[in-house]
Structure 1
Amino acid sequence: MTAMVHEPPTRAAEILLESFHDLETPEGFRAELIEGEIVVSPPPGGAHEMDLWCLVRQVTLHSSARMDYSGHKGLKLRRGGRCPKNHIIPDGVFIPHELDLLREADPWMEPEGVALVVEVTSSRPDGDRRDKRHCYAKGGIPLYLLIDRERRMVSLFSEPRSDAGKEDYLQVTQVIFGKPLDLPEPFSFTLDTSELD
């Protein structure tokens, strides 16, 4: 029987991660480490925030499970190979209230316990559509909701799968703005997308 030896991260990966953690961004900007690239995003506009608030309000009023919410929680998502973990700040994170994970969470927390992450497209829509989707799938986050303002569409990704170096969700349900979207357990309600802009 041979023991598996895991190679430590390369010095370049260590430097990238150190540089990311040392980065100082202007107030309101977000710095993320996505697939080995440091991405700095400007503060979102008002329509972006209103779309996010529309979702938060409906989850608060209609979800069958009580949820805690954060719009600023950083997630560390594993990535294979020699690259450092992805460090992403979703537009929204929902965690079942009974888990009480947010109260003592570090600024960058592991994704275990997260029920749903939300992104609303803005300055880098393809990053939300592709890169972040793959990162969330690899992190095992059960549900990813993408409010795509440019395409006027809401996509719900479910059943994350990560094997043979490929990370994605096996199921996707898409509706155009104005059509209802059923959210599965633990939410178990129909999302009204008619207020999205």
Structure 2
Amino acid sequence: MTAMAHEPVSQADVLLEGFLALDTPEGFRAELIEGEIVVTPPPDGDHEDYIELIMSQVVRKSRTDMQFSGNKGLRLQRGEGCPKDHVIPDGTFAPRKLRLYRGADPWMPSDGVAMVLEVTSTKPRADREAKRRCYARSRIPLYLLVDREASSVTLFSDPENGDYRQLCTRPFGKPLPLPDPFGFELDTADFL
């Protein structure tokens, strides 16, 4: 009888397997961000209102016909020997012609995503820092952050070397230009 060779299981593999096996309560979101499992409670009404205000403007004003998802998770790039980040943005926008959201898998690659949206909630630091780096590593062109504590909206762009090289911040009430493929000014007057 010959002994079967077993490949060593890495800590990253164990972490990813444990994360994917999680059974979170309804409404909660579990994400794997930079090697840490983060669970957030259901959002409040104001959080959802910001998302709807942005989503409706993108649908009405974008130069490119966009699809929106607030539920589809993204598998994002990580360094060698690290599990891929698994992040559920508050919103994901992609050109409709790509039809990226099809399929039964709750996790999709980020290829083709034009912009991700996050609205700060119970863990604002994750939105401001860790998620920003995750999206930049995967070269998502635009990251829109609504920071409720700072009463501002920031557009991060030009991802390179694991972060965004440019950012444009406006206080609530001031318009924020969204470049192509959107090509319009996001009205934030209703954010006040």
1:98 alignment partner, SS class: helix
The CA RMSD over aligned residues, in Å, is: 1.3
Q: What corresponds to 1:138 in structure 2?
A: 137
Q: What corresponds to 1:151 in structure 2?
A: 150
Counterpart-to-counterpart distance in 1, 2:130 and 2:52? 24
- Larger mean CA deviation between 105-114 and 14-23 belongs to 105-114
What TM-score do you get using the length of structure 2 for normalisation?
0.94
CA shift at 1:10, angstroms? 5.6
What TM-score do you get using the length of structure 1 for normalisation?
0.92
Runs of 5+ consecutive residues of structure 1 not aligned to the other structure:
1-7
Q: 4+ residue runs of structure 1 moved beyond 4 angstroms?
A: none
Change (3 A) 1:187 1:38: same
Counterpart-to-counterpart distance in 2, 1:71 and 1:113? 16
Residues 31 and 40 in structure 1, CA contact (< 8 A), matched pair in contact too: yes
Counterpart-to-counterpart distance in 1, 2:165 and 2:104? 29
CA shift at 1:48, angstroms? 0.3
Runs of 5+ consecutive residues of structure 2 not aligned to the other structure:
1-6
Partner deviation per Cα, 1:92-119 (whole Å, 9 max, x = no partner): 0001001111123621111000000000
Q: Does 1:63 align with 2:62?
A: yes
Q: What corresponds to 1:181 in structure 2?
A: 176
1:131 alignment partner, SS class: helix
Counterpart-to-counterpart distance in 1, 2:185 and 2:121? 25
CA shift at 1:9, angstroms? 8.9
Q: What corresponds to 2:3 in structure 1?
A: none
Q: What corresponds to 2:13 in structure 1?
A: 14
Q: What corresponds to 2:37 in structure 1?
A: 38
Counterpart-to-counterpart distance in 1, 2:139 and 2:58? 21
Counterpart-to-counterpart distance in 2, 1:85 and 1:187? 28
Counterpart-to-counterpart distance in 1, 2:67 and 2:82? 31
Change (3 A) 1:153 1:64: same
Residue type matched to 1:60 in 2? V
- Larger mean CA deviation between 9-18 and 52-61 belongs to 9-18
CA shift at 1:81, angstroms? 2.7
